[in-house]
Amino acid sequence: MLRLRNVDVYYGSVPALTRVSLHVRQGEIVALVGGNGAGKTTTLTAASGLLRPKSGQITFQDQDITRLAPDRIVDMGLSQVPEGRLVWKPLPVEDNLLLGAFTRRGQTREVADDLDQIYSMFPILAERRRLPAGALSGGEQQMLAIGRALMARPRMLLLDEPSMGLAPAVTKEIFARIVALRQERGLTVLLVEQNARMALTIADRGYVLETGRVILQGPAGELLENRDVQRAYLGRDAGGDER
């Protein structure tokens, strides 16, 4: 569904991505892991149209989206859940969700049906629909951010650090929701996550980024067993012992 071919992205004169190539097949969960500053978020924001590559090509469902505006990309079925959630905190929960349907003008009945589905998926949001989003916990705001993206009826989600700042129990719940979205809705997911172990546990395949370059790729299970990945990202030494 999504393919990046030799994508270069710069912040001013500083390279952020260098010849990054990756692909995500329909129905897959693909994890993109790496340390801070590796280029993970830059990869997602380039795919969603928020950053323009200096060179290379990005295609979604075989259509070139390299130069498309973000709203056009959302309308095609590619939605991003940003790092840090970025909900509109003064607005009620329900208004935040409805803003996710901004490309669906004239679909009042369908939007209302989808809103009901989001509330069924995340009952806590239904209970707190009239509260300002800023009154929610971190985990509830993450559910809201995912729900907002789903209101666009995407075929694919770009998920950026969904576990950031969340307690382990809440992180497990969020990741269970991600798996359920794939199973129940057939959603394709490109997942950026510093919790490499959790990401690779639910993913089909993975890529490892380092200083803006893809240095490893393969089935998620193989990356979990890779000694270099274990040492750098999974908290294990070369002998396989926990640090």
pLDDT at res. 235:
54
Q: Residue count of the chain, please give it.
A: 243
In this prediction, residues 181-201 reach a mean pLDDT of 90
User: Does pLDDT of 11 surpass 90?
Assistant: yes
Q: How would residue 206 be classed by pLDDT, with cut points 50, 70 and 90?
A: very high
According to the per-residue pLDDT averaged within each range, which of 1-10, 78-87, 120-129, 220-229 is highest? 1-10
User: Does pLDDT of 56 surpass 90?
Assistant: yes
* Residue 188: half-sphere exposure toward Cβ, Cα within 13 Å: 18
pLDDT at res. 237:
46
User: Does pLDDT of 55 surpass 90?
Assistant: yes
Answering whether pTM is above 0.75, one says yes
Residue among 232, 236, 207 nearest 222 (CA): 207
Q: How would residue 212 be classed by pLDDT, with cut points 50, 70 and 90?
A: very high
Q: How would residue 170 be classed by pLDDT, with cut points 50, 70 and 90?
A: confident
Contacts 24+ apart (CB under 8 A), 133-139: 133/87, 133/88, 133/89, 133/90, 133/91, 133/92, 133/93, 133/96, 134/87, 134/89, 134/90, 136/87, 136/93, 137/170, 138/85, 138/165, 138/166, 138/170, 139/166, 139/167, 139/170, 139/173, 139/174
Domains by residue range for the chain, with CATH: 2-217 (3.40.50.300)
Q: Model confidence over 67-112: pLDDT tens digits?
A: 999 999 999 999 999 887 788 899 999 999 999 988 777 788 888 9
pLDDT at res. 239:
43
In this prediction, residues 237-241 reach a mean pLDDT of 43
Average model confidence (pLDDT) across the chain = 89
Residue 136 CA to chain centroid, in angstroms? Answer: 21
Distance (Å, rounded) from C-alpha 57 to C-alpha 6?
Answer: 7
User: Does pLDDT of 232 surpass 80?
Assistant: no
Asked whether 81 and 44 are in contact (CB, 8 A), the reply is: no
According to the per-residue pLDDT averaged within each range, which of 101-110, 201-210, 227-236 is highest? 201-210
pLDDT at res. 97:
95
pLDDT at res. 205:
96
User: Does pLDDT of 43 surpass 80?
Assistant: yes
User: Does pLDDT of 210 surpass 70?
Assistant: yes
Distance (Å, rounded) from C-alpha 209 to C-alpha 43?
Answer: 10
**Cβ within 8 Å of residue 35, ≥6 positions away:** 194, 210, 232, 233
pLDDT at res. 72:
93
10 Å Cβ neighbour count for 16?
23
In this prediction, residues 214-218 reach a mean pLDDT of 93
Q: How far apart are the first and last CA of the chain?
A: 38
Q: Model confidence over 130-158: pLDDT tens digits?
A: 999 999 988 899 899 999 999 999 999 99
